Amino acid sequence: MKIIRMDEKSVNDFWQLRKQLFEELNEITSLEDTQKLENTTKEFYLSHINKDLICWGVIIENKIIASSSLCLFNRIPYQENLTGKEGYILNIYTCSNYRKQGIASQLLSEMKEYAKQNQINRLWLSSSDNGLALYKEHGFIEKNNELEIFIVNNSSKFE
pLDDT (tens place) for every residue of the chain, 159 residues total? 999 999 999 999 999 999 999 999 888 878 888 999 999 999 999 999 999 999 999 999 999 999 999 999 999 999 999 999 999 999 999 999 999 999 999 999 999 999 999 999 999 999 888 889 999 999 999 887 777 787 875 444 444
Instruction: State the CATH number of the domain containing residue 121.
Output: 3.40.630.30
d(CA 136, CA 79) in angstroms, rounded, equals 23
Nearest residue to 57 (alpha-carbon basis) of 129, 111, 127: 111
Q: pTM above 0.75? A: yes
Which range marks the domain in which residue 39 is found? 2-138
Element (H, E) at 122: strand 122-125
Measured CA to CA, the distance from residue 32 to residue 26 in angstroms comes to: 15
> Is residue 156 domain-resident?
no
Residue 104: inside a domain, yes or no? yes
Helix (H, G, I), strand (E, B) or coil at 85: strand
Looking at the 3D structure of the chain, how many domains does it have?
1
Secondary element (H or E) of residue 54 = strand 53-60
